[in-house]
Amino acid sequence: MRVGLIGNPIAHSRSPRMHNAAFAALGMNHTYELWETEPDDLAERVATIRQSEILGSNVTVPFKEKVVSLVDEVSETSRRIGAVNTIIPHDGKLIGDNTDAYGYAASIRESYPGYTPERALVLGAGGASRAVIVALQEMGAGEVIIVNRTLARAEELAAELGASAAGWETLPDLMPTASLVTNATALGWYDERVLDESMVAMLPQGAIVTDLTYANTPLLQDAAAHGLHTLDGLGMLVYQGVRSFELWFGITPPVDVMWAAARG
């Protein structure tokens, strides 16, 4: 039996090693595959998940938003985020869900048990930001502020999700009172700095700085150098995978095995 990942490009994905390691540990005769898909072939690809030997699918960029209209039903979480990253076949229907918010919140709780941010800054107003915002709200964050270079985009997203919005130029005023900062922009994957080190230095001691990338980015390095708590995005990847596994099979996979495979 098969599950897989729909996206483009996806050759770099760590999901197959995570899930296949979990299958092996549990003695499940399943395989997790990479289903790289061209945009024009997306609807056909999603339709194949109705085949009996396919048990489900994950979805990644650039298709998370597009898949919403291709499944039969979506969860409330998917509706709020506006994206699907997990497809579950059930009683002849395809159910779209989103485990990214769960993954983000679970990674925070694992590293910082009991933590609830009073003021959280989310950098960027793209698709990745939406899951982070929903996760922070579900964690009970006191205030979630979307900070974006294009203020109108931040305001639009804030109005939709019930958050606050601010322009990039307001960061010097916001950073000294922030308890958590998350980089949800594309910057950071290739050693770019999303914030100057001087900006990071404005954060109060005890603040947490997170990045959705899987590496020790310049943002995280700067934060650590100033004695701040840091967290990269690998935990979010692992825990969104854990939750997807639960939705497909009704059991919790061995988290330690998936962590070890993700670290590779």
Q: Taking the mean position of all CA atoms in its chain, how far away is CA 222?
A: 22
Q: What does the block give as tokens for 261?
A: 């495979």
Say if residue 93 is exposed, middle or buried (CB neighbours under 10 Å; 0-12, 13-18, 19+).
Answer: exposed
* Residues 120-145 pLDDT 10s: 999 999 989 999 999 999 999 999 99
93, β-bridge pairs: 90
Query: Which domains, from first to last, does the chain contain?
Result: 2-98+236-263 (3.40.50.10860), 102-232 (3.40.50.720)
Query: Rounded CA gap, 248 and 186, in Å?
Result: 30
Task: Judge whether 66 counts as a catalytic residue.
Answer: no
Quote the pTM value. Answer: 0.95
Dihedral pair phi/psi, residue 10, rounded to 5°: -140, 5
* Residues 28-67 pLDDT 10s: 999 999 999 999 999 999 999 999 999 999 999 999 999 9
CA nearest to 166, candidates 182, 154, 178, 157: 154
* Residues 58-101 pLDDT 10s: 999 999 999 999 999 999 999 999 999 999 999 999 999 999 99
Q: Which of 19, 30, 45, 64 is catalytic?
A: 64
Portion of the chain with pLDDT greater than 70, in percent: 98
Instruction: Name the maximum alpha-carbon separation found in the chain.
Output: 55
Dihedral pair phi/psi, residue 147, rounded to 5°: -110, 120
CA nearest to 180, candidates 115, 262, 233, 93: 115
What pLDDT does residue 5 have? Answer: 98
Query: Rounded CA gap, 165 and 149, in Å?
Result: 11
What pLDDT does residue 149 have? Answer: 95
Instruction: Say if residue 191's pLDDT is above 90.
Output: no
What pLDDT does residue 190 have? Answer: 67
